[in-house]
Structure 1
């Protein structure tokens, strides 16, 4: 367990020259049904540079963009995605939240990204641990490679988010052109199982606040690794993450983050003063003990579904993921 956070300020108010990218977590999900085309379109309209989504495979081999393994929570249907056909079944469901939307396919989401007006938008694909890696990535490869110019127009804008090391080798073998990120809550697990295999670490915001998180952020910075944080809907957390120099912030409230970024561009000194070096003491959930308990529970659930974690064999040098993201790594202040 890490000790309590140290009162530090990594960036002085005058040192900001870039702001994090805005990635819509399940789209603009604070305003629209999560993981729907309407939510993704809203995030893009707001000005988000990226969107985050989740994937599951139906019984008839379609990749659905959906968070839960079951459809009960957000739609008018019931049951597990893996045991139901999409065509003539899951495609008839609609979200409980208005405007009532269908569950989109990954292909439909990529169609949205391939529109001429959207070819700057990044897509972070959260690979849920109950997916079979061989089946998922084989289907995903066929979908991605069906687009003309996918090598330059699509693949560089995709990021595979991996919770479990069992996905690393199949992802490298079946989707070598797509970058890999580790999604997690534990710097220790990220360092032990994913460090060499991933170019980006998508970490829970709270896990990056305490001293263990500070050390991990420093290690990533020195190694040229990128950090994104999730799910950040609080203004003060957005400001703090900006001080850390993260590459992107995943948020349900895309409009809120983009408006805050505009404030930062106008007067960073004023915005930066809203949080201090004592920020880490303002919530129990930022303390090392809290993150230890939460990350331990998450690790238990991941191993229960996906099996025990194991070290990933060294990948060939040619398969090392590129550190930069597509057309733009971060948004410049004033751009």
Structure 2
């Protein structure tokens, strides 16, 4: 099972920064989950929120402006991939604009890096599966009425075989259905030691977590 640090170890460092990534890997995480947006100067930056703390849209700010607002240097996708080449990267692409920059860039890392590309925008994932050799996955914040309807578009793509679920909606039934159809399951959003233990019992392939102490990587 893969253990991925959700935006790095951000209990001590700002999330989605190189320091947070380095700290997570030092704790023993196998990989990192991070978020890609686009700045006003067309940089593929690692930043989760759509709006900066000043109330301005991130897409309307240059990387330097956003860094000044945050009080730290907001990294680019290229910087992170180059800094940690032996890491399992779960790269969540937030917007079509981010995809237009990130997907061509990632073609240069297909062979050298282990990458799982995901998005809540499933059309982005389908485009990525066409362009990249990397594994791709659908992010899901709701439970589909029928899992077949969710997976139908993925089936023609051999590298689109991962489903990433919100912990709130997942249970053994839907995990087993996905496995039976040839799909792997990852889960984000577990908050307690009990939930982490339950996901292990369910046999998920990856846990994306903010809590290394519940993942067994540091004392509780």
Please give the TM-score of this superposition, normalised by the length of structure 1.
Answer: 0.58
What residue in structure 2 maps to residue 41 of structure 1?
A: 22
Alignment partners' CA distance in 2, 1:144 and 1:169: 15
Note if contact 2:190-2:196 (Cα within 8 Å) is conserved in structure 1: yes
Alignment partners' CA distance in 2, 1:151 and 1:259: 29
Q: How many residues align?
A: 213
Pick aligned residue for 1:205 from 167, 182, 186? 167
Note if contact 2:28-2:217 (Cα within 8 Å) is conserved in structure 1: no
What residue in structure 2 maps to residue 214 of structure 1?
A: 172
Alignment partners' CA distance in 1, 2:107 and 2:141: 32
Alignment partners' CA distance in 1, 2:55 and 2:75: 17
The answer to whether 1:109 aligns with 2:80 is yes
Q: What's the offset of the Cα at 1:89?
A: 2.3
What residue in structure 2 maps to residue 143 of structure 1?
A: 105
Note if contact 1:26-1:39 (Cα within 8 Å) is conserved in structure 2: yes
Q: What's the offset of the Cα at 1:188?
A: 1.1
What residue in structure 2 maps to residue 323 of structure 1?
A: none
What residue in structure 2 maps to residue 234 of structure 1?
A: 192
Alignment partners' CA distance in 1, 2:180 and 2:75: 39
Greater C-alpha radius of gyration: 1
Alignment partners' CA distance in 1, 2:152 and 2:16: 29
Backbone CA RMSD of aligned residues: 2.3
What residue in structure 1 maps to residue 112 of structure 2?
A: 153
Q: What's the offset of the Cα at 1:126?
A: 1.6
Q: For structure 2, list consecutive stretches of 5 or more residues without a partner in the other structure.
A: 155-159
What residue in structure 1 maps to residue 125 of structure 2?
A: 168
The answer to whether 1:56 aligns with 2:37 is yes
Q: What's the offset of the Cα at 1:193?
A: 3.2
Q: What's the offset of the Cα at 1:168?
A: 3.5
Pick aligned residue for 2:91 from 118, 125, 128? 125
Please give the TM-score of this superposition, normalised by the length of structure 2.
Answer: 0.86
What residue in structure 2 maps to residue 23 of structure 1?
A: 4
Note if contact 1:159-1:181 (Cα within 8 Å) is conserved in structure 2: yes
Q: What's the offset of the Cα at 1:215?
A: 2.2
Mapping 1:1-335, distance limit 5 Å: 20-72=1-53, 77-86=54-63, 88-95=64-71, 101-114=72-85, 119=86, 121-128=87-94, 131-132=95-96, 135-146=97-108, 150-154=109-113, 157-173=114-130, 175-188=131-144, 191-197=148-154, 198-208=160-170, 213-259=171-217
The structure carrying a bigger helix percent of its residues is 1
The change in CA–CA distance for 1:24 and 1:44 in structure 2 (over 3 A counts) is same
The structure carrying a bigger strand percent of its residues is 2
